[in-house]
A and B are shown apart, each in its own frame.
Chain A
Amino acid sequence: MKTRILLVALLVLTVVALAGCAQATPAPAATKAPEAAATKAPEATATKAPAAEEEKVTIVYWADPRFQYVKGMEDQTQEVGDYEKILAQQFMDLHPNVTVEVETLQWNELSTKVAAAIAAGSPPDVLKDYLGRTSAYANQGLLEPLQDAIPKEEYDDYLPSLVDLYTINGDLHGLPLFFWVTHLIGNTTIAKDAGAEDLLPDDSGTWTFDQFEQALAAQAIPDKRWPLAMQVSSEQGDYNTLGYFWGMGAKLYENGDYTHTALNSPEGVAALTKLVEWYNKGYIIPGVTTISNNDLLNAMYQGQSAITGGGLGLLPVVEGAQKEGKLTVDWDPYIAAFPHADGVNSAGLAAGPTGVVVFKQKDPAKRKWAIEFARFLASPELEEQYAINANQFPSRKSVGNPFEGDPKFTKVAEWIDKYGVEDMGLSSPTYGEVRVLLQPELQAAFLGKKTPEQALADYEKAANEVLSQNK
């Protein structure tokens, strides 16, 4: 059962790990030069069996298109997919009997191409993707269980809550690699320009709805600046909207019960009412119902908006845009939790892990090497590289804190420790199906076609119809 308590536990342990309490770690991972990891294959899975005696095996590996210009390997990783090929080559060097065929998919292909391949009976052997998608494959019994295929010390090295999220129907369906946590990111320059610097959160990074609203009001300029850049145009990034619901005390699910949604509550209605009110006052960017994430970023780049939702991974994106001359305002970022109602102990944080999974294999030799490759990809040395290059949190305790001394990471870790993260239902069998039902109702509320009460009631009805399959 995936309860909020367990999720909180995850992140408590994360904090413990990030604080450097991972005693088992022989040396702080962050002290290693990236080059070292780049040129040397991880040893975790380097069970160097005599290659000549092993059966020849070909593994098909599909990966998300995340990494480019990997630190310390910039010249070798100029194209998306280069990094994955380098890792595959390292594995093949260790195990000459294994051939790894790498394919890096586009983001939209991660659902379409993988689903079509599964339906056609030819899925990849190994896949790196987001938990929200891999859980669907696990729920349909398509993945190899991994809990018995990895050594106990390795199993115990993963953050327990991540293990819990990745355990579906009693099986560990994937090895978590890294995870993002979403919150708010703002530009101090605009707050200063609006004379609203004093209205930003204090060192705790948290604020109430009233304080947040005052900050929005101070930074808004009619028909010129809409301080809050958010979208309800698609389910992508829905956690950045749900943050306000969670901050108000609403829950998407109660206590890991995925048979019905809990969002239609007085707290949920209050949150949606507040969002609609802000939209009507001009605090939220126009076109919230159809605007794309790129447009949200552009609004931040042009100073039309001052605050948006996202993880720390967004910071290098904006810095990259700044280098390309896309920003017309100075960029001085701060991070903040989602606003919370009085007495609500939530920072509105969501966590989204990416992991590596192995599709079910008929050939025992292939199964063995596919799992071995997955373990290789999840080795602490590589997890450290992933975390650094994705600006996300590592999922293994032994990685330690790759961002030691970075106040923003420290602050997020503190929030996680204090407030925990919210349950988005990532492991639910109907996650993808239920997820898309919320946005049309939010859109209807924003456009005044439905009252917040009516929109959430309609969402509840539609969602529960789908969720009833989980009983």
Chain B
Amino acid sequence: MTLAKRMWKARWAYVFLLPALIPFFIFILGPLLAGLRLSFYEARLADQTFIGFGNFIKLAHDEAFLYAVKNTFIFVLVVVPVSITLSLFIALMVYPLRGSVQGFFRMAFYLPVVASGVVLTMVWLYIFNPTYGLLNYLLSLVGIGRVEWLGRTETALLSLAIVVVSWTLGVPIILFIAGLAGIPKSLHEAAKIDGANSWQEFWHVTLPLLKPTLLFVLVTQTINVFQVFIVVLLMTRGGPANSTQTIVYRIYETAFTFFRFGYASAMGVVLLLIVGSVAVVQFKLLGQEVQY
């Protein structure tokens, strides 16, 4: 059957998909293509001049951007593994609990996902405040002196990582719990009969069967963390001394402070390529089908 015939046969499916496809084309694909086009232009507020790969060549020598790329990678390498490990651990703890108790913990951990990022950031700003913050107060009780969590280059990025981990646990926990529920009980029972201890049961049964969930969480978390922005904007504005500059914050600054839309778009394209490449590698490493 030709492609056209197959499409015609599935025409009603396309009709039902339209409500989702139309916004996708207008708000995702359209701007994406416009951004791609813009990346080849010297685009200011009033005019656009085609410059080919000029923006990309300039980016390769832009120290501030390269620094932001480095910071973003560090951020991803810290946040994603910590976030996934922690959420898997919590899911393993919560999953065996009975219905209502499990429901309470699921809700509690999911709450930050539905809360405003701005509000959460404000709470964390209070926690990290060097003079009246909660964290320094608690540390002072055990004799540890004042730490400028967001004010030192050594601690600022780590502090932001803690904030991001804290509000990105909700979705993976829910997904891991669902994944755990999908593993047939008979496999766990068989492992037990074969004499497997808890660790062996987790390592040889649970984890391999969670691979599809793990892959999904890994890819989505990586994409999300690569795009970290609001926490940087509200907590450090890329400082101190550029130590928390990230790619998306740099894009924002380039577009809306410098009004260099073409250059900012080129940064966006580079980010897309980086995230896409990382996702492909993740799929290659973890994407094998799971056999039950």
Contact (Cβ within 8 A) A223 B46: no
Contact (Cβ within 8 A) B259 A290: no
Contact (Cβ within 8 A) A443 B146: no
CA distance A226 to B151 in the complex (A): 16
B256 touches which of A111, A288, A289, A444 (Cβ 8 Å): A111
Contact with A along B146-180 (1 / 0, CB 8 A): 10101111001000000000000000000000000
Contact (Cβ within 8 A) B130 A119: no
CA distance A223 to B148 in the complex (A): 13
Interface of B is mostly: loop
From known contacts A141-B46, A290-B156, A432-B257, infer whether A443 and B240 are also in contact, taking CB-CB under 8 Å.
yes
From known contacts A119-B45, A140-B44, infer whether A233 and B148 are also in contact, taking CB-CB under 8 Å.
no
Give the contacts of B211-242 with A (CB-CB under 8 A).
235-242
CA distance A432 to B254 in the complex (A): 10
B201 within 8 A of A: no
Q: Give the one of A111, A285, A287, A433 with max B CB within 10 A.
A: A287
Residue of A nearest to B244 (CB): A290
A436 within 8 A of B: yes
Contact (Cβ within 8 A) B261 A233: no
Give the contacts of A257-293 with B (CB-CB under 8 A).
285-292
Range, interface on chain B: 20 to 34
A321 to chain B, nearest CB (A): 16
From known contacts A115-B256, A234-B237, A440-B239, infer whether A291 and B151 are also in contact, taking CB-CB under 8 Å.
yes
CA distance A432 to B257 in the complex (A): 6
Contact with A along B108-140 (1 / 0, CB 8 A): 000000000000000001000111100000000
A396 to chain B, nearest CB (A): 29
A32 within 8 A of B: no
Residue of A nearest to B156 (CB): A290
Contact (Cβ within 8 A) B45 A115: yes
A439 to chain B, nearest CB (A): 7
A368 within 8 A of B: no
CA distance A292 to B152 in the complex (A): 15
CA distance A126 to B275 in the complex (A): 41
Contact (Cβ within 8 A) B241 A289: yes
Residues in chain B near residue A136, CB distance under 8 A: 45, 259
B141 to chain A, nearest CB (A): 15
Contact (Cβ within 8 A) A289 B240: yes
Contact (Cβ within 8 A) A447 B45: no
CA distance A112 to B43 in the complex (A): 16
Residues in chain A near residue B257, CB distance under 8 A: 111, 432-433, 436
CA distance A298 to B129 in the complex (A): 11
From known contacts A142-B45, A433-B258, infer whether A290 and B151 are also in contact, taking CB-CB under 8 Å.
yes
Contact (Cβ within 8 A) A233 B45: no
Contact with A along B6-50 (1 / 0, CB 8 A): 000000000000000000000000000000000000011111000
B255 within 8 A of A: yes
From known contacts A444-B241, A447-B240, infer whether A115 and B151 are also in contact, taking CB-CB under 8 Å.
no
From known contacts A136-B45, A432-B257, infer whether A289 and B125 are also in contact, taking CB-CB under 8 Å.
no
Residues in chain B near residue A441, CB distance under 8 A: 241
A299 within 8 A of B: yes
Residue of B nearest to A142 (CB): B46
Contact (Cβ within 8 A) B239 A233: yes
A111 to chain B, nearest CB (A): 5
Residue of B nearest to A236 (CB): B237
Residues in chain B near residue A299, CB distance under 8 A: 131
From known contacts A292-B125, A449-B153, infer whether A439 and B239 are also in contact, taking CB-CB under 8 Å.
yes
Residues in chain A near residue B131, CB distance under 8 A: 226, 285-287, 299, 304
Residue of A nearest to B129 (CB): A295
Residues in chain B near residue A116, CB distance under 8 A: 256
Residue of B nearest to A294 (CB): B125
A189 to chain B, nearest CB (A): 19
CA distance A118 to B152 in the complex (A): 38
Residues in chain B near residue A436, CB distance under 8 A: 253, 257
Residues in chain B near residue A443, CB distance under 8 A: 239-241
A89 within 8 A of B: no
Contact (Cβ within 8 A) A440 B259: no
Residues in chain B near residue A450, CB distance under 8 A: 241
Contact (Cβ within 8 A) B146 A289: no
Contact (Cβ within 8 A) B130 A440: no
A308 to chain B, nearest CB (A): 14
Contact with A along B256-275 (1 / 0, CB 8 A): 11110100000000000000
CA distance A295 to B127 in the complex (A): 13
A137 within 8 A of B: yes
Residues in chain B near residue A234, CB distance under 8 A: 237, 239
Contact (Cβ within 8 A) B45 A137: yes
Q: Mark B residues whose CB is within 8 Å of A.
A: 43-47, 125, 129-132, 146, 148, 150-153, 156, 235-242, 253, 255-259, 261
A-B CB proximity, top 9 nearest: A289-B240, A444-B241, A443-B240, A287-B151, A286-B130, A140-B46, A290-B150, A287-B130, A443-B241
18 A-B pairs whose Cβ atoms sit less than 8 Å apart in the complex:
A119-B45, A140-B45, A140-B46, A285-B131, A286-B151, A287-B131, A287-B148, A287-B150, A287-B151, A289-B148, A290-B150, A290-B240, A295-B125, A299-B131, A440-B238, A440-B240, A444-B240, A447-B153
